[in-house]
Amino acid sequence: MKPTIRGIHHVTAIAGDPQQNIDFYTGLLGLRMVKLTVNFDDPYTYHLYYGDDRGAPGSVLTFFPWPGASRGSRGAGQATVVSFSVPEGSLPFWQRRLTERGVPVSEPVGRMRSQAISFHDPDDLALEIVEDSAERRPPMPARALVPAERSIRGFHSVTLSEADGRATADFLTRSLGFRLVSQEGNRARYEAGEGGPGAAVDLLDEPRLERGLVSVGTVHHVAFRTPDDEEQAAWQETIRRAGHQVTPVADRHYFRSIYFREPGGVLFEIATDLPGFTIDEPVERLGGGLALPPWLEPRREAIARQLPPVSVPAA
């Protein structure tokens, strides 16, 4: 069996203050708090998941908030930009909304037959909203004064920055099954699966770029989709045969994960689509309270005492 990457599963970044993070992504961008949980490897730290109404793969941006930690720096060997997708005609709404909320935002820039605006979250994470004529995913319910027809539908792409992108490009195509679909200057776009929004990785070749530092305001890792455990096991073998170290399977309760680094140093994950975020909460109550996996439930009281209080908007 030859495994296939279906697109982006989720992206995980590092934040500072958790409440500030919640307010920005739910209150300004109108994403849903899909899961309020903890970092399973460090359970006294939150793990915040935002996405569409059901937390579908390809829509979920997650954060480890580290209050008081130093800012990171974007550079070579990192995923440097996270891009969301919206339908055609939506950019004027988002420019106006961001500007009215005091968030500096660029003018639209044409790129590979689409238009994009750029801005940063409160921790300086680089974000884009991309208007794509191929966007066909259903709208989210109107939330935080964002009309359903202008809502973010999920990821458009992620951007990888490399001082020398040749080995990364080779790894994406030969090992992970991506294909080169477009190139403009030093930017090359690779797509997985059926392509389109949520399946794209942009590779920026920037020879003079210094190495980045992963901390607050930067991406920790990029996760790609695989449907089930069987294909994930096949990916483990594929990556090993390509000469790369890959971790054992980690149970993340909502999905299972393997981790490895691409040749330029970006941490990649391949995560299963199942079982999904409704395994412990019904859709209508997703993100409504602190969710813990069964193995952490005996420590709930101690964990809750250590976590800073946060206010999460009602679903």
Q: 18 lies in a domain? A: yes
Mean pLDDT of the chain: 96
Q: CATH no. for residue 177?
A: 3.10.180.10
pLDDT of 181-199, one tens digit each?
A: 999 999 999 999 999 999 9
Domains held by the chain: number: 1
pLDDT of 24-62, one tens digit each?
A: 999 999 999 999 999 999 999 999 999 999 999 999 999
Q: What radius of gyration do the chain's Cα atoms show?
A: 18
Q: 188 lies in a domain? A: yes
pLDDT of 71-81, one tens digit each?
A: 999 999 999 99
Domain of residue 138, residue span: 8-306
Residue whose tokens read 């005996």: 298
Is the Cβ–Cβ distance between 224 and 269 less than 8 Å?
yes
Give the tokens for residue 46: 């939150």
* Alpha carbon distance 44, 65 (integer Å): 11
Q: 314 lies in a domain? A: no
Q: 1 lies in a domain? A: no
Q: 184 lies in a domain? A: yes
What integer is the mean pLDDT of 275-298? 96
Q: 313 lies in a domain? A: no
Consecutive H or E run containing 22:
helix 18-22
pTM of the model: 0.97
**119 CB burial (10 A radius; 0-12, 13-18, 19+):** middle
End-to-end CA distance of the chain: 40
Q: 312 lies in a domain? A: no
Residue 236 has pLDDT above 90, yes or no: yes
